[in-house]
Chains A and B, each alone.
Chain A
Amino acid sequence: QQQVKQSPQSLIVQKGGISIINCAYENTAFDYFPWYQQFPGKGPALLIAIRPDVSEKKEGRFTISFNKSAKQFSLHIMDSQPGDSATYFCAASKGGSYIPTFGRGTSLIVHP
Chain B
Amino acid sequence: DGGITQSPKYLFRKEGQNVTLSCEQNLNHDAMYWYRQDPGQGLRLIYYSQIVNDFQKGDIAEGYSVSREKKESFPLTVTSAQKNPTAFYLCASSPSGTSGRAEQFFGPGTRLTVL
Contact = CB atoms under 8 A, between A and B. Distances in A.
A51 B4 CA distance: 26
A43 B90 contact: yes
A96 B109 contact: no
Contacts, number: 68
5 contacts: A43-B4, A44-B106, A46-B103, A94-B100, A96-B99
A42 B109 contact: yes
A100 B107 CA distance: 17
B101 A43 contact: no
A89 B42 contact: yes
Interface string B75-115: 00000000000000010101010011111111111010000
Contacts of A96: 99-100
Interface stretch (A64-72, A73-81, A101-109): A101-109
Contacts of B109: 41-43
**Most central of A34, A44, A95 by chain B CB within 10 Å:** A44
Interface of B: 4, 31, 33, 40-43, 45, 48, 50, 58, 90, 92, 94, 96, 99-109, 111
A32 interface: yes
Interface size range on A against B: 20 to 34
Contact of A103 (B42, B99, B100, B107): B42
A9 B43 CA distance: 14
A36 B102 CA distance: 13
